[in-house]
């Protein structure tokens, strides 16, 4: 081999070594970047799990039992009597409203509303 060929081969070997070292450096940078991304994802996942745990704790936290006031029987009977009177008044009002002559029947209005939809609503209104 001549010296020119030898110099050319040495130059080629040097270029191949340079390309290989560049590829190794690029691979190392890529692995470092992937490692950082994985660490960041792991931190984000840990934060999400912690947040989820805190939210679940807030949602499932049971309220402390409160002492209910003791109601005497006399007070209970009074409120029951008041409720019964109010209910009787409402029933009487409805009965009086139904009994008016010359007005639309509630039953007819209800049936028309149910069967005819919007047209029945016009009649029932």
Kindly list the averaged pLDDT for each block of 10 residues, start to end, along the chain of length 125.
Answer: 89 96 97 97 96 88 65 60 85 73 69 72 60
Rounded Cα distance between 22 and 25, Å, is 5
**pLDDT for the residue numbered 87:** 87
**pLDDT for the residue numbered 123:** 60
**pLDDT for the residue numbered 28:** 97
Q: Helix or strand or coil: residue 1? A: coil
- The answer to whether 97 and 109 have CB atoms below 8 angstroms apart is no
Q: Helix or strand or coil: residue 75? A: helix
Q: Where are the domains of the chain?
A: 1-61
């Amino acid at each position: 081999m001549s010296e020119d060929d030898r110099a050319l081969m040495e130059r080629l070997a040097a270029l191949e070594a340079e390309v290989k070292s560049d590829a190794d450096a690029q691979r190392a940078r890529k692995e470092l970047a992937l490692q950082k991304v994985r660490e960041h994802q792991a931190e984000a996942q840990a934060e999400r799990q912690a947040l989820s745990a805190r939210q679940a704790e807030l949602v499932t936290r049971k309220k402390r039992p409160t002492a209910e006031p003791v109601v005497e029987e006399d007070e209970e009977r009074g409120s029951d009597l008041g409720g019964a009177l109010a209910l009787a008044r409402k029933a009487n009002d409805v009965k009086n409203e139904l009994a008016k002559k010359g007005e639309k029947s509630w039953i007819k209005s209800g049936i028309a509303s149910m069967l005819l939809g919007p047209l029945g609503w016009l009649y029932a209104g």
